Amino acid sequence: MKTTKQRLVFILLLAFSVTGFSQKNEMKAASKALAKSDFTGAAAELAKVKGMLDNIDDKTKAKFYFMEAKVYNATGKLDDAVKTLKTLMDFEKQIGKPKYTKEAKPMLDNLVKSLREKGIKEYQGGKWGAAKITLAKVFELSPKDTAFLQYAGGAALKAKDYDLAIKDFQKLIDLGYKGITTYYTAVNAKTGERENLGSKAYLDLMVKSGEYKEPNVEKVGPVTGTLYNNLASAYLSKKETVKAQQAIEKAKEADPKNINVILTQASIEYELGNKEKFTELMKEAVKLQPNNPSLFFNIGVVSMDQGKADEAIAAYKKAIELKPDYSDAWLNLAYAEIADDAKLVEEMEANINDFDKFDEIKAKQVAMYKKALPTFEKALEFNQNRPDFMKTVVALYENLEMYDKEKALKAKIDALENK
C-alpha cells in the first residue's frame, strides 16, 4: 500500500511529465508554424510555453529563445528580437553549449543594421523621441559604432530630453571619442555630383575607370569641441549656468573658431545678463559668418534691449539686406524706428498745458511716424496674420490722418479675429 508521501511524489512526477510533454508539442507546433512563415501561429504556441520556462530543459529553453527571436524579427519587433537574441547568447554561454549562437550572431548583426537604418530614418524625419532611443540601442549592441551615440545625444537634445543628452555626451567624452572621419570623394562623371566612395582603394579604382573624376581626400574632426558645446547647451537649457560655463570653456579650448561654440557662449552670457559680452561674441561670430542674417538679427535684439536704437536699426537693416523676406527683422526694424515714441508721449503729457511746447513735440512724433511708415508697411507685407502688429499700423494711420488705409486695415483685422 502506497503512503501519502509516495502518492505525492508520484503525482508531482506525473505533473512534470505532462508539462514536459505539453511543452514539446507546443514547441513542435511553433517550429512547424515558423517553417510555413505563420508567425502569428508560432507566436501563439510560444506564448503557451513562456510561462513554463523554469520547468524545461536547457536545450529546449535555448531553442525557445531562438524561435521567439525569429518571430520578433519577422514581425518587425526589432527591439524585442535584439533583447531575446542577447538573452539566448548569454544563456548558451552560461550553459556552455552555443548551439544556436552561431545562427543568432549573424541575425543580431542584421538586426543592428536594421536598427541603424531605422534610427537614421527617424532622425532625418525629425522623430527625435524615437531616434534618441534607437540610435543609443545601436551603440549598446555595437560599441564600435560610437558615432551613433553622438547622433543619439543630438536627438535627445532636439527632443528636449536634456538629462539623456548630458548622459550621452558625457559618456562620449569619458570614452575619449574623437570622431575623426576620412571622406574619399569624387565627382560622378554622369551626374556631376560629388559622392563619398568610402575607401581610398575604391576611390582610386573608380577614378581609374573614368566613372569618377576630381578625387579628394578630406579628414573631418575631431569633434571634441562639438561634444562639449552640446553638453553646455544641454546644461544651459536646464538653467545650470555654472556647468554650462565649465563645458563651454572646454569647448573653446578644443575648437575656438567653431561658430556654434561662440554662439553657445553668447547664449550663456545673455542668460547671465551680460549683454555687452553677448554683443561682443555675436560680432565675433559675424566675422566667421558675415552672410548669416540671424547673427545680425540677434545683435539688433540685444542692442534694442540696451537702448541702442541706432545700432539695432543698422543690424536689422543688414539682416534684411542678406534676407529680404526676413519678416521678424522687418517688424523689429519698424519698432526700432519709433523707439523714441514712449519718450515723446511722456514729454507731451508733461507739457499738456503748454500748447506751443505740446504742438512742437507732437510735430516731432508725427515726423517720426511719417519716416517710419514705409518700413511698417513693408513689415506688414510679411506679417499679414499678426493682429497685434497690424493694430500698431492702424494707430499710425490714425495719427497720420490716413483714414482710408486705417479703415481697410481694421477690416482685415476684424476678418482675422472673427475666423
SS3 182: strand
Mean pLDDT of the chain: 90
Residue 292: closest CA among 268, 315, 261 = 315
Q: What do you get for the CA distance between the two ends of the chain, in Å? A: 93
The predicted pLDDT at position 19 comes to: 44
Q: Which band of pLDDT confidence, cut at 50, 70 and 90, is reported for residue 62?
A: confident
Q: How many structural domains does the chain have? A: 4
| Range of the structural domain that residue 53 is part of | 13-113
The residue written with cell numbers 482685415 in the block is 412
C-alpha cell at 280: 561682443
The predicted pLDDT at position 8 comes to: 47
Q: Does 99 fall in a domain? A: yes
Rg of the Cα trace of the chain?
Answer: 34
C-alpha cell at 216: 579628394
Q: Does 228 fall in a domain? A: no
Cα gap 231→246, rounded to integer Å? 10
pLDDT > 90? residue 336? yes
| Bridge partners, 216 (sequence order) | 185
The predicted pLDDT at position 181 comes to: 87
The residue written with cell numbers 552560461 in the block is 94
Q: What is the CATH number of the domain that holds 99?
A: 1.25.40
Same domain as 391, residue 348:
yes
The predicted pLDDT at position 22 comes to: 56
The predicted pLDDT at position 29 comes to: 80
Q: Does 288 fall in a domain? A: no
Same domain as 158, residue 87:
no
The predicted pLDDT at position 111 comes to: 87
Average pLDDT for 237-250 = 98
Number of CB atoms found within 10 A of residue 13's CB? 10
Look up the pTM and report it. 0.75
pLDDT in tens, 99-153: 889 888 888 888 888 889 999 999 999 999 999 999 999 999 889 999 999 999 9
Same domain as 54, residue 136:
no
Which of 90-99, 101-110, 398-407 tops mean pLDDT? 398-407
